[in-house]
Amino acid sequence: MNSIREFICYNQKEIIRFEYTISQLHKSFKESFLKKSFDVEAKYSDLIVESFMLMEKIFSKNLEFIKNTYGMYDENIRVTIKMVENDEVIDIFRSHYNEDLIFSSAKIEENTGFKYILSGKDIYYLNDDIEESFIKGEYQNPRLDNSLREKLIKKEISWKNCWKQYKDNINDYYNSTLIIPMSITTDNENKDTIFYRNFFEKNDNSKLNTKERIIWGFFCLDSKQKNFFTNISTFDPIDLGFIITDILSLYLIFFYNYTSASETVNKYLKEIE
């Protein structure tokens, strides 16, 4: 409980600071844009770069909490935060390996975990034996080489050899994964509100959205261990995952609101096309 209290306390302060900072950066950019000032390009760059770097710094700090919880069972637990953009997921934070992987993207349809959530089978995806699911043809991932399935079944190769290597030749793989969407739901009581009209209806073109729910990101935990999440005994890994996801999603939605969803930003981008 102490760790959770510290996690909430830290993020309460940082959420307030982050929202204030990005709003001021957006205000400065908007004023420059409306005045057609010479520094509008610099102001736009400040908005995107400074807010993103601050968000990354906050996410990195939150790794300490994750290492003090999930990390007790796997010190090499991997954390990835992905942003949704149309029919793709884009990596915006990774706890592992090089910076070249930031902003790498993948089609949602190419990953079983994301498709599982979007199909409505459950509000999260948990798989504690991905190798077995892959052998059965029940797991898809763009980094897995399906042509090697038979060799794996015959034990001619190991599980890690089925994964496509990153360009730096790091052979990275995992066997357990938990994916939780960064999302928001609504009900009939608030469908007539400004929030619903401006947020839900405006974003209704996305394949990830329905009239009741919008998903703008994913929080992912991966481990090389089989049955990693099943073997956690001191806390509920799913409940804790939702607590972390719901808090961290606030940073991402603020970033989205002041950048991609900003009318001023979109007008500016159209002008410079």
Tell me, yes or no, whether 30 lies in a domain: yes
Tell me, yes or no, whether 142 lies in a domain: no
Q: What is the pLDDT of residues 112-133, one digit of tens each?
A: 999 999 877 789 999 999 999 9
What pLDDT, on the 0 to 100 scale, is given for residue 206? Answer: 47
Percent with pLDDT over 90 in the chain: 70
The overall average pLDDT reported for the chain is 88
Domains in the chain: how many in total?
1
Tell me, yes or no, whether 273 lies in a domain: yes
Tell me, yes or no, whether 45 lies in a domain: yes
DSSP class of residue 161 equals G
Can you say how many angstroms the Cα of residue 153 is from the centroid of all Cα atoms in its chain?
A: 32
What pLDDT, on the 0 to 100 scale, is given for residue 27? Answer: 98
Enter the pTM of the model: 0.89
- Which of these, 87, 92, 67, lies nearest to 77 by C-alpha position? 67
Tell me, yes or no, whether 55 lies in a domain: yes
What pLDDT, on the 0 to 100 scale, is given for residue 100? Answer: 56
CA distance 58 to 55: 5
Tell me, yes or no, whether 256 lies in a domain: yes
What pLDDT, on the 0 to 100 scale, is given for residue 177? Answer: 98
Compute the C-alpha angle 250/253/259, nearest 5°. 140
Cβ pair 187, 221 in contact under 8 A: no
DSSP class of residue 201 equals I
What pLDDT, on the 0 to 100 scale, is given for residue 207? Answer: 45
Domain, as residue range, for 52: 1-69+236-273
Tell me, yes or no, whether 176 lies in a domain: no
What stretches in the chain show pLDDT beneath 70? 1-2, 97-102, 167-171, 186-212
Q: Cα(first)–Cα(last) distance of the chain, in Å?
A: 51
Exposure class string for 77-115: b at 16+ Cβ within 10 A, else e:
bbbbbbbbbeeebbbbbbbeeeeebeeeebebeebbbbe
Total residue length of the chain: 273
Tell me, yes or no, whether 29 lies in a domain: yes
